[in-house]
Amino acid sequence: MKKKWAYWGGALAGVVNGLLGAAGGLVVVPALRKAGLETRKAHATSVAIILPISIVSAIFYLTSGRFHFSDTLLYLPGGVAGAFLGGWLLP
């Protein structure tokens, strides 16, 4: 029964991730918490899943010429600050 829930939870996370970008973590973290993982491990597992997918996506965007790294410079300081703040606030 747990395998069936894991399968459908993974499928739902994939659909949400495909529709909203890296928002699959919104599904993965609660599912992992419900499966018994502690909060930090659930978030770490979610990031471990999302990070490689995001890196591959970034490579495709950069090599296709539709996106330039300089476009990110405006958002980079806020993203880094938010990452540190989120890590600090996570129980």
- Count Cα atoms within 13 angstroms, Cβ side, for 28: 22
**How far apart, in whole angstroms, are the C-alpha atoms of residue 25 and residue 13?**
7
- Polymer length in residues for the chain: 91
pLDDT at 77: 94
Residue 35's identity, in one-letter code, is A
> In this predicted model, what pLDDT tens digit does every residue of 31-60 receive, in sequence order?
888 888 888 888 888 888 778 877 888 888
- Residue 41: how many CB atoms within 10 A of its CB? 12
pLDDT at 22: 62
Q: Is the pLDDT of residue 27 over 80?
A: no
> In this predicted model, what pLDDT tens digit does every residue of 59-91 receive, in sequence order?
888 889 887 778 888 999 999 999 899 888 876
pTM across the whole model: 0.58
